[in-house]
Structure 1
Amino acid sequence: MKIKTLSFLLFIFPLVSFAQEISDDKTARYLEEDKKKISVVGGLSYLHNSFGLLYEDKVFHLRPNDAFYTEFFLRYRWLDVSFSFAPKLTHINNDDPEKGKSKYFNFGFNFFVAPKIRQYLYFSQVKGLYFQDTKEFLQLLYGNDYNEEGYLQFPDAKYRSFKGETTYLWIGNKSDYRSFNNMTYEPLKDVFVVSTGLFYQYNILSDMNRVIYQGNVITDIENNPSKDLRIALRSGAGIQKKIKNWYAVLEIYPEIYYAKLIDEDFHEFNVGGYSNGRIGYDNGKWFFGAGAQLNWINSSNENFYSATQWLFRAGIGFRFNSPTFVNRNFDKIDNIFK
């Protein structure tokens, strides 16, 4: 989609979307009732990612095997937790045996430290990678006549990522923005928000000293962990449209970033973009939806991380009344932070 089209949508959509407003009193009443409910979501996610490796001025891609993994969200008041993994019982994981097996684990949570400041923290790990460009890489080493099939597998390889983001809402507040986080929050009305966020990420690629190729195992490979740091400043807008119990959410954030490969003389400044969209149904008791995220980086050199990363997820959830003793204890905690 062209930039002009996106700009037009961000401009015109908020103007036509505020026809369905609810009163401040009704919003305050709902938020008070929501304090006594627990929201739970279960679903499936698919993540497409690759990690670029630079060799003789050419970028080769290291990837996890394609897989769906289960994802769960749990929210009670300001405690908003998500975690995901790929269970062994899921037979749709690891689409090609020649690429090996990949295991996923993610854990994160977000909360508001003030009405206009949101804090997001996240940890993810994927274990088991394969060399997507194996044939091209071996042809570079042994000549163009090399025509063997198969992939170099790194079964012990781990890619760990520690992420955080601190976001300030220029337009909107936490009661408006909460439903942009995930499906555990019920969208209450049409919303337009503008925000700026500082995103920070620390990545570690390690344990690549065991390789499998065409059934042969090689273990005498020296390998040191590769570490990189990325900092990005994102500014953009989000819109939420609600029609009865149906809703749609769209966020677009251009960004500028700095990336540094630790212990090596390589760093760069560049630009990119982050977008998030979701559609769903929510009647207050149960809800479902599906969405996608796209993280694009205009990187001139991919030996840090993927130049593009996209995620698709779908889930279903419900809300139920929380136990009285839980409400009582959280009331005490809330009173401390007032």
Structure 2
Amino acid sequence: MKAKILSFTFLFSSLISYSQEVNEEKIRQYIKEDKNKISVVAGLSYLHNTFGLRYQDKIFILRPNDAFYTEFFMRYRWLDVSFSFAPKFTRINNDDPEKGKSKYFNFGFTFFLSPKLRQYVYFSQVKGLYFQDTKDFMRLVYGNDYNEEGYLQFPDAKYRSFKGETSYLWLGNKTDYRSFNNMTHQPLKDVFLLSTGLFYQYNILSDLNKTIYQGEIFNENENDSPSKDVRIALRSGGGVQKMIKQNWYAIVEIYPEFYYSKLIDEDFHEFNVGLYSNARIGYDNGKWFFGGGTQLNWINSSNENFYSTTQWLFRIGLGFRFNSPKFVNRNFDKIDNILK
């Protein structure tokens, strides 16, 4: 009897080891084949954004008008590139006469400097803002009896943001982290990651000379100097990737953060805490894939932030993979050999 139990235990252990070896072999085979494939994603996102403007030691909230914008992601080997804008057909409201039109443009890319060091670079611009606190602002200027309706629009206003993040993976490596970047990588197994990242951001708010209020256009003759600020945040946290069933997966990331922000050329700065998080669920069979997710960036500032803050983002996307041209593979092989 004992001999049968020992034989069964040995057989069971052997099957587990064999199963793990088979899974690892499949992953290695997938990564090898994936080197010569290009992944493309087309998506639609809704971004809720606020900006702060100081006037007489008070913070007033500026906002772009609500709209969906299109996103495109392309990934080949170790390089992820994203590009987005807001075409006319993606508007979700009919209040342009009251709040104005907003235009979005974003461009960024992500790559690994080493198996554990990831670099993220991003540029974004929003053109066309309106005063969410118009009535409060008018009462500050004309007195508390002011009770007119409407919004102050800044049709030429531009908010440009240059962002970057350098992250170090304490637990995990670039192979495990691939699918956390975006949908261009196929999730292959259950993964748990821990990382610390340094986030840095430089923002410019400019071109506030032209305003529209209740249908009338006003132009300031004075040159309005841009408002500039910097933000630095230290993020530490983790992420979980879970394979739900065949080709289905879920990903969750949570990163508490400590940050410092400074308004350039003015005596205004702030230390604070916040939370940055991502969640996504999707399907990926290796050839085509789709998914949806949300992003939350909460900062404990009581709406007294003078820099761009994304409260939340919603995104859906659909993508596919295809074989890359041979001349592209040859050139990237040369680059890979140099990076080694």
Please say whether Structure 1 and Structure 2 have the same fold, judged by a TM-score greater than 0.5: yes
1:98 aligned counterpart, secondary structure? helix
The correspondence of residues 30-109 of structure 1 with structure 2, limited to 5 A, is 30-92=30-92, 95-109=95-109
Alpha-carbon distance in structure 2 between the residues aligned to 1:51 and 1:182:
26
- Give 1:337 shift: 1.3
1:144 aligned counterpart, secondary structure? coil
Q: Structure 1 residues 329 and 104, CA, compared in 2 at 3 Å: closer, same or farther?
A: same
Asked whether the equivalents of residues 38 and 322 of structure 1 are also in contact (C-alpha less than 8 Å), the reply is yes
Alpha-carbon distance in structure 1 between the residues aligned to 2:183 and 2:329:
22
More displaced stretch, 294-303 vs 31-40: 294-303
Name the counterpart of 2:241. 240
Matched to 2:266, the amino acid is: E
Name the counterpart of 1:250. 252
Matched to 1:190, the amino acid is: D
The correspondence of residues 1-338 of structure 1 with structure 2, limited to 5 A, is 23-92=23-92, 95-220=95-220, 222=222, 223-242=224-243, 243-299=245-301, 302-306=304-308, 309-338=311-340
- Could you tell me which runs of 5 or more consecutive residues in structure 2 were left unpaired when the two chains were aligned: 1-18
Alpha-carbon distance in structure 2 between the residues aligned to 1:207 and 1:154:
8
Q: Structure 1 residues 234 and 120, CA, compared in 2 at 3 Å: closer, same or farther?
A: same
- Give 1:144 shift: 2.6
Alpha-carbon distance in structure 2 between the residues aligned to 1:235 and 1:56:
36
Matched to 1:238, the amino acid is: G
**Residue by residue, what CA displacement relative to the aligned partner does 1:124-157 show, whole Å, maximum 9, x if unpaired?**
0000000011112112222232121111000000
Alpha-carbon distance in structure 1 between the residues aligned to 2:271 and 2:22:
44
Alpha-carbon distance in structure 1 between the residues aligned to 2:280 and 2:328:
31
More displaced stretch, 20-29 vs 161-170: 20-29
Q: Structure 1 residues 161 and 306, CA, compared in 2 at 3 Å: closer, same or farther?
A: closer
Q: How large is the RMSD of aligned CA atoms in angstroms? A: 1.8
Q: Structure 1 residues 274 and 303, CA, compared in 2 at 3 Å: closer, same or farther?
A: closer
- Give 1:20 shift: 9.3
More displaced stretch, 224-233 vs 94-103: 94-103
Matched to 1:326, the amino acid is: V
1:32 aligned counterpart, secondary structure? helix
Asked whether the equivalents of residues 54 and 306 of structure 2 are also in contact (C-alpha less than 8 Å), the reply is no
Q: Structure 1 residues 275 and 22, CA, compared in 2 at 3 Å: closer, same or farther?
A: farther
Alpha-carbon distance in structure 2 between the residues aligned to 1:326 and 1:186:
21
Q: Structure 1 residues 221 and 275, CA, compared in 2 at 3 Å: closer, same or farther?
A: farther
Alpha-carbon distance in structure 2 between the residues aligned to 1:217 and 1:254:
44
- Identity among equivalent positions (%) equals 79
Q: Structure 1 residues 99 and 69, CA, compared in 2 at 3 Å: closer, same or farther?
A: same
Q: Which has more radius of gyration?
A: 2
Asked whether the equivalents of residues 297 and 308 of structure 1 are also in contact (C-alpha less than 8 Å), the reply is no
Name the counterpart of 1:9. none
Asked whether the equivalents of residues 72 and 82 of structure 1 are also in contact (C-alpha less than 8 Å), the reply is yes
**Residue by residue, what CA displacement relative to the aligned partner does 1:291-312 show, whole Å, maximum 9, x if unpaired?**
0101111125624225552111
More displaced stretch, 300-309 vs 162-171: 300-309
- Could you tell me which runs of 5 or more consecutive residues in structure 1 were left unpaired when the two chains were aligned: 1-18
2:135 aligned counterpart, secondary structure? helix
2:90 aligned counterpart, secondary structure? coil
More displaced stretch, 25-34 vs 271-280: 25-34
**Residue by residue, what CA displacement relative to the aligned partner does 1:276-327 show, whole Å, maximum 9, x if unpaired?**
0000000000000000101111125624225552111101000011111211
Q: Structure 1 residues 22 and 226, CA, compared in 2 at 3 Å: closer, same or farther?
A: farther
Task: Report the TM-score when normalising by structure 2.
Answer: 0.90
2:88 aligned counterpart, secondary structure? coil
Asked whether the equivalents of residues 210 and 221 of structure 1 are also in contact (C-alpha less than 8 Å), the reply is no
Asked whether the equivalents of residues 21 and 190 of structure 1 are also in contact (C-alpha less than 8 Å), the reply is no
Matched to 2:179, the amino acid is: S
- Give 1:21 shift: 9.5
Q: Structure 1 residues 47 and 307, CA, compared in 2 at 3 Å: closer, same or farther?
A: closer
Asked whether the equivalents of residues 200 and 231 of structure 1 are also in contact (C-alpha less than 8 Å), the reply is yes
Matched to 2:118, the amino acid is: R
- Give 1:117 shift: 0.5
Aligned length: 320
Q: Structure 1 residues 187 and 63, CA, compared in 2 at 3 Å: closer, same or farther?
A: same
Alpha-carbon distance in structure 1 between the residues aligned to 2:54 and 2:263:
12
